[in-house]
Amino acid sequence: MGTQLSFDRGSAEALSVSKQEPTWLTVRRAEAAEKAQTLDWPQPEKMRIARWNLEAFGNYKAAEPAAGTAELPAALQELLSKEEDASGLLVQRNSSRVLNRMNEKLAAKGVIFTDLETAAREHVELVQKHLFSVVDPYTDKLTARHAALWTGGVFVYVPKNVEVELPLQALLYSDDAEATFAPHILLIADTNSRVTYVDNVVSAFAGEVAPSVHQSVTEVIVKAGARVQFATVHHLAESVTDLSVRRAKVEQDGRIEWIVGDLHDGNILSDTVSVLEGSGATSDAKVITIGARAQKMSVTTQAVHVGRSTDSNMVTRAVMKEQATAIINGITKIEKGATKANGVQTEKVLMLSPKARGDANPILLIDEDDVTAGHAASVGQVNPEQIHYLMSRGIAKEDAERLIIYGFLAPVVSEVPIPSVREQLQRLLERKLES
C-alpha cells in the first residue's frame, strides 16, 4: 500500500522546503514532526481510536489548479452556492488549493480569504501570530502530526468593523486516497466584525479505494464584539477516517455559532470547543450526526467559560442505524472567576436498530459557585405510541417512522441560521437516512 508514510523531522522539513515555505513555518513543522513521534493519540471517552486506521495520511500531492467550478465533479458542483450568493469560494483538492475567488469589494475592505499556505507567505504577521494560537500543537499525536503536515487549508481575516454579509464558502475534497488531505482552517474575525463561513468536506473517489485519513484542525479567533457563524458539513466515503478538531477563542462580547453536520460514512472523531475568554462572550453549537453500518463516532462539544457573564448553548442530535456506535459527549466547563456564567447542553440519541449503540454523556465541570448550568441527555428508540398514533390516521408504518425520525432532527435543522446550509443538511441527512 502506498498510503503509508513514515513521517519524521527530516521529511517534514524537506517537504516544507520543497514547497518554498517561509523558514519559521519550516521550523515549526519540523519540531511538530519530532514531537508527534513521542505524543499519544487523543483518548476520547469510551472510544478507542487507536484501533482505527490513523496512519494512512498519504503523501503531499499538488493538484492542478481549476479554471472554474465547471471543472469540478458534478456531484461537488451541486454543493456550491450560486456565485452571487457567496462572498467567496475556495476549493481544495487533496493537498492543495485549486480554486479561489472573492468578492472584490470585500478584498478592497481588507478581507482576506485564501488558502493558508499562500497566507503564510503573503500575510506573515497575521498567520505567524495566530496559527496554533488557539490549539496547542503539542496537545497529542493528532495535533502535532497535523502541525507537521497540514496542507492547503483556509485563511480568513475580517478587519475591524467589517461585515461580510454573504457566506464565504469552502469545498475541501479528496479524490485520491494516497494524497494527504489535511486542511488547516484559520479564521480571524477582528473587533466588531461579522462573518459566516461555510464548508463541505467530501470525497469523490472513483470506486473502491484504500483507507485514508482526513485530519483537520480549525482555529477561530473571535475578537471583541465580533460574531462568527461557522458551518461545516462532512460527508466523506466509508474508507476515510475523519479526525476533526475545532476550537474557537472568543473575546469580550464576541459570539461563535457552530453548525456541524457529521454525515460522514467512516469513523469520526469530531471535537468542537468554544473557549469563552472575554466577559459576555457567547457560543452556540448545533451538531447533527447520523451513524450507519459499522461506523464508530466520537462526537464532543465543549464550552469553556473563563470570562464573566459568558453564555453557552450546545445541542447534539444523533440518529443511529444498523451497528453504528456513537459516543456523544457534551462538556460544560466553568472556570473559577467566571461568575454569572450560564451553560446549557442537550444531547439526544435516537436508536433505529437493536445493534446500534449510542451513549450521551453530559459532563459538567464547574469551579465557580455563582453560575447556572443545565443539561439534558436521552437515548431512546422510536416510541411505539407515536407510531400507533400516526398509523391510526392512515399513515403507513414506514412513513410514520420517517416522520418521527425527521421530526427528531427537525428542531435542530430548522434553527440552522444559514438557509443554504439548512437545505443542504436536510438533503444530505435524508440521503444518509434512506440509504
Partner 1 sequence: MSTKFVVNGLKAEIEGKEILKGIDLNIKGGEIHAIMGPNGTGKSTLASALMGHPKYEVTSGTATLNDEDLLEMEVDARARAGLFLAMQYPSEITGVTNSDFLRSAINARRGEGNEISLIKFIRQMEGKMKELDMNPEFAHRYLNEGFSGGEKKRNEILQMLLLEPKITILDEIDSGLDIDALKIVAAGVNAMRSEERGFLIITHYQRLLNYITPDYVHVMMQGRIVKSGGPELAQRLEDEGYDWVKEELGIVDETVGKA
Residues that bind partner 1 (CB under 8 A): 383-386, 388-397, 399-400, 403-404, 406-411
> For residue 341, which of 370, 375, 362, 315 has the smallest C-alpha distance?
370
Provide the grid cell at 117: 499556505
* Minimal distance, residue 404 CB to partner 1, in Å: 6
- How far is Cα 275 from Cα 307, in angstroms, rounded to an integer? 9
C-alpha cell at 269: 472523531
Nearer to partner 1, 134 or 413 (CB): 413
Q: Are strands 240-250 and 212-222 parallel, antiparallel or unpaired?
A: parallel
Which residue, 46 or 388, has its beta carbon nearer to partner 1?
Answer: 388
- Closer Cβ to partner 1, 23 or 414, answer by number: 414
Do residues 226 and 254 make contact, with C-beta atoms less than 8 angstroms apart?
Answer: yes
Burial class (CB in 10 A: 0-12, 13-18, 19+), 101: middle
Q: Which is nearer to partner 1, 377 or 403 (CB)?
A: 403
- For residues 78 and 178, the answer to whether their CB atoms sit within 8 Å is no
Q: How many residues does the chain have?
A: 435
Work out how close the CB of 232 gets to partner 1 at its nearest, in angstroms, rounded to a whole number: 23
CB of 386 to partner 1, least distance (A): 5
**Which amino acid is residue 277, in one-letter code?**
E
Q: How far is the CB of 315 from partner 1 (least distance, A)?
A: 13
| Cell (9 digits) for 154 | 483556509
Residues 276 and 24: their CA atoms lie apart, in Å, by: 29
Nearer to partner 1, 256 or 400 (CB): 400
Work out how close the CB of 230 gets to partner 1 at its nearest, in angstroms, rounded to a whole number.
Answer: 24
If the CB atoms of residues 64 and 385 are measured against partner 1, the closer one turns out to be 385
240-250 and 268-276 beta bridge pairing:
parallel
Q: Least distance to partner 1 from the beta carbon of 413, Å?
A: 9
Residue 213 identity: V
**CB 30 within 8 Å of CB 144:** no
Q: How far is the CB of 401 from partner 1 (least distance, A)?
A: 12
Per-residue buried b or exposed e for 393-415, using 16+ beta carbons within 10 Å of the residue's own CB: eeeeeeebbbebbeebbeebbee
Residue number, 126 or 387, with CB nearest to partner 1: 387
Number of helices and strands in the chain (H, E): 10, 19
In angstroms, rounded to a whole number, what is the distance separating the alpha carbons of residues 115 and 91?
A: 9
* Least distance between partner 1 and beta carbon 364 (Å): 24
Q: How far is the CB of 422 from partner 1 (least distance, A)?
A: 14
> Which CB sits closer to partner 1, 337 or 380?
380
Q: How far is the CB of 387 from partner 1 (least distance, A)?
A: 9
Q: Which is nearer to partner 1, 66 or 403 (CB)?
A: 403
CA-nearest of 309, 276, 245 to 49 is 245
Cα distances (angstroms) measured from residue 281 to each of 160, 170, 254 = 17, 26, 5
Helices (H), 123-165: 124-130, 141-149
Nearer to partner 1, 40 or 398 (CB): 398
Amino acid (1-letter code) at residue 393: R
